Structure 1
Amino acid sequence: MPLKQVKKWQILTLMAGLVLVICTGMMVFRPASYSLKIDGVAVAEEEFQTEVTKAQYQVTKYFFDQYQAEVDHGFWDRDFQGENPKVRLLQEVLDQLRRIYAARSLALETGMISSIDYSAFINRFQASNQNRQKASSNGEAVYGLATFSQEAFLEYELDSFEQAYLDHFGTSSLAVSDAEQLTYYQSQAEGIFARYDDYEVEYIRIYYAMEDLNDQVLAQLRADLDSLASQSAHSRFDMAGFPSLVAYYGYEEIASDQVSTLAKFIGDVLYYADQLEAGQTSPVIDENGCLYLIRLINRTDNGPVPFEEVKEVIKKRLQEEAYQQLVIQKSDSMELDYEEDQLLAYLDSIIN
């Protein structure tokens, strides 16, 4: 066989081999394909990836809390008593995306938006920032953030969808009866609608950990405090007999609407006073580098906030709860179109 033909044949064989290797390599290293639709609407890769990033922390925290699992090289594919982190992550992402699309779908009913897909969301996001920047440069008042991040705008928009739905359907499909409001009030009267008591309290408070007190002085203060506690079990403090304690004495008459403000300054005293009955004196308390002696002179139980004062608050809260339940119901009814193995492979290409 001529030399030139042999070389030509070898070259052709070599080229064929290279093509095979390249094609095989493309098959091996080709990125996993992605396809996901919610109620027939394609979910953009960027939107999916954003939700993956947001959900990763919650999933890793769950597996750490449940199994003390560290996020190492093989974490996402490991089995934890039948639970797999990657599968859980995918479910979290799909659930969140369905809730977002459910809220957008409800927003269509109010005419607030005209499309539920991601590209329309990005257009609204960009337009909002442009309008805010323009208003700010013109010296106009801009409420909230001057510029939204994409995540912040999503939260802002979802809140706006809720308010628009309540405004549009609040008196019809989300109507709340007086009986429902009263039932809710009665169930929460001792909780979120409770008012602070009025207090009349006197106290000795010695922050010995913060003061430059030698051991002898501190020992004398403790002894005087024990004596005052013994003498004041059934009466007011007689400070005339304890001049060493006068600098540490305090007295307050506190109305219920003042408790939150004064808690910044004497919250520790109020905490211990709240555990006493009117006319009762505490034992000497030694906590966190501080000595206390507290006498609750008087307290007035103000009961819960009157129903009429919180009726509208209750109505709004119940409507908000009804709306959130509506979003969940809508979300559960939305059809997911995807191949699980394919989407898990794509998810794996993102997180690993």
Structure 2
Amino acid sequence: MNNVSNRKCSRKKMMWVIAIIGVVVAVTAIFISFQVIRNNTENKIVATVNGDPVYVEEFRERLLMQKVPVQQFFREKYGIQAGDGFWESYFEGENPLKTAKEMALNECVQIKVEQQLGRDKGLVEDISYPAFLKQLEKENKRRKKAVENNEIIYGPVEYQKNVYYEYLYSNMKIALKELLEGKEIQFTEEDLMSYYEQIKDSLYRKEGEVKILKAYVTYTDENRNFSEENRKAALEKIRQVKLKMDQGENIKNISDSSPKGESLKVNFVEQVFNEKTAKHDQQSALELKTRARRLSVGEISDIIEENNTFYVIKCLEREADGYKSFEEVRENVKSKFIDEKYNEMVEGLVKAAKVEIVGSVYDRINMQ
């Protein structure tokens, strides 16, 4: 009797094992099928630009880059926070996914016409995305082998796909601009000087030097310990100093009435703000510099609090603001001039480009 029962149990266990194996096989088959479908989809062409293909994977990289900007756009315009169903929803007739895909396609078209220009100039032979992937694989193998051989490499041991793509794209644009200079992009010295006049207000303003006398009291001790009592005492001291300065009392005659040995000492120091000190000022004396630049010669500021210190400042001297000379910034002007002309050229190529979208592929692409 027991033997019969044991046989039945064994059969049941075997059936369960077979069922589990069947489920695993089915799931694996589905996963493999999904991967095959996805790979086939990634290898498909979503559009052509002057006959050159834009692959789904290539397009998807640009699409994912639009995710944050599009979310921000809809948040600012409609007060919408991205959540479930966001990309499929419509807000006053606007659809986030459609917007993102249009932006991604525009970028793909621009990049492709630049790559075509680079190919025409002999900078690159094959501008297809599969060729890029082969180049990426080759470069990463080279880097890995170099590291194994203790050779010096610059940059990462292994490039991520998007990083390497941008690296090649940026370098190609730099090389293109160098090739176009003096040919498709021509200019004279007068052109550069005229361009300098157009952009100097926004890019080349030069702040005049300002010299101040500052009276200050720091209310933390040598270990940077803070107490509200010290802060109140320091504030009262600087108020007395400001009162005397406002009354026209000579700075040299304003003495510190603190008892000997008291830590809250009033200090008087001259300070200059100019081009040479600008970086330091930005980091450690921004509020002081801002206030100083508002003062006319002889004018005294209100009390300023910055970095655990109270200040009163008086403007001693100041130069008028001006501009960096053309000679100082000529190379920068030239670079920006070439950038602008290059962008105009690319815009023209984009407008003239023949773009054909493969609707059956384009329409199926989502943000997943």
- TM-score tier by shorter-chain length is 0.7 to 0.9
Corresponding residue number in structure 2 for 1:284: 303
Corresponding residue number in structure 1 for 2:353: 334
- Aligned counterparts, 1:43-54, within 5 A: 43-54=54-65
Contact 1:196–1:257 under 8 Å retained in 2: no
Scaled by the length of structure 1, the TM-score of the pair is 0.79
Q: 1:41 to 1:187 in 2, by over 3 A?
A: closer
Contact 1:195–1:302 under 8 Å retained in 2: yes
For the pair 1:41 / 2:59, whether they are aligned, the reply is no
Structure 1 counterpart of 2:97, from 86, 104, 117: 86
Q: Distance in 2 between matches of 1:248 and 1:135?
A: 60
Q: Distance in 1 between matches of 2:61 and 2:296?
A: 55
Contact 2:47–2:358 under 8 Å retained in 1: no
Corresponding residue number in structure 2 for 1:347: 365
Q: Distance in 2 between matches of 1:343 and 1:331?
A: 20
Amino acid at match of 2:334: K
Q: 1:294 to 1:132 in 2, by over 3 A?
A: farther
Corresponding residue number in structure 1 for 2:290: 271
Q: 1:41 to 1:271 in 2, by over 3 A?
A: same
Scaled by the length of structure 2, the TM-score of the pair is 0.75
CA displacement at 1:145 relative to structure 2: 4.5
Corresponding residue number in structure 2 for 1:18: none
CA displacement at 1:256 relative to structure 2: 2.3
Contact 2:216–2:266 under 8 Å retained in 1: no
Q: Distance in 2 between matches of 1:140 and 1:258?
A: 42
Q: More deviation in 278-287 or 230-239?
A: 230-239
- Aligned counterparts, 1:68-107, within 5 A: 68-107=79-118
Corresponding residue number in structure 2 for 1:253: 272
- Aligned counterparts, 1:164-175, within 5 A: 164-175=175-186
Structure 2 counterpart of 1:305, from 305, 324, 339: 324
Q: More deviation in 190-199 or 152-161?
A: 190-199
Amino acid at match of 2:244: Q
CA displacement at 1:268 relative to structure 2: 2.5
- Aligned counterparts, 1:1-352, within 5 A: 35-38=45-48, 39-133=50-144, 142-206=153-217, 208=219, 211-215=225-229, 217-233=230-246, 237-238=251-252, 240-244=254-258, 246-247=265-266, 249-286=268-305, 291-301=310-320, 303-340=322-359, 343-344=362-363, 346-348=364-366, 350-351=367-368
Q: Distance in 1 between matches of 2:228 and 2:357?
A: 74
CA displacement at 1:117 relative to structure 2: 1.0
Contact 1:107–1:161 under 8 Å retained in 2: yes
Q: Distance in 1 between matches of 2:160 and 2:347?
A: 26
CA displacement at 1:109 relative to structure 2: 2.0
Please list every run of 5 or more consecutive structure 1 residues that lacks an aligned counterpart in the other structure. 1-25
CA displacement at 1:95 relative to structure 2: 0.8
Contact 1:110–1:164 under 8 Å retained in 2: no
Q: Distance in 1 between matches of 2:256 and 2:343?
A: 61
CA RMSD in angstroms, aligned pairs only: 3.1
Q: 1:263 to 1:90 in 2, by over 3 A?
A: closer
Q: Distance in 2 between matches of 1:249 and 1:347?
A: 68
Amino acid at match of 2:194: T
Percent of residue pairs identical: 19
Q: More deviation in 268-277 or 299-308?
A: 299-308
- Number of positions where the alignment pairs a residue of Structure 1 with one of Structure 2: 320
- Give the secondary-structure state (helix, strand or coil) at the position aligned to 1:166: helix
Q: Distance in 2 between matches of 1:270 and 1:225?
A: 19
1:50-74 superposed Cα distances (whole Å, 9 cap, x missing partner): 2222222211121111111122222
Amino acid at match of 1:300: E
- Give the secondary-structure state (helix, strand or coil) at the position aligned to 2:77: helix
Q: 1:159 to 1:147 in 2, by over 3 A?
A: same
Greater RCO between the two (CA within 8 Å, min separation 6)? 1
CA displacement at 1:229 relative to structure 2: 1.6
Amino acid at match of 1:37: A
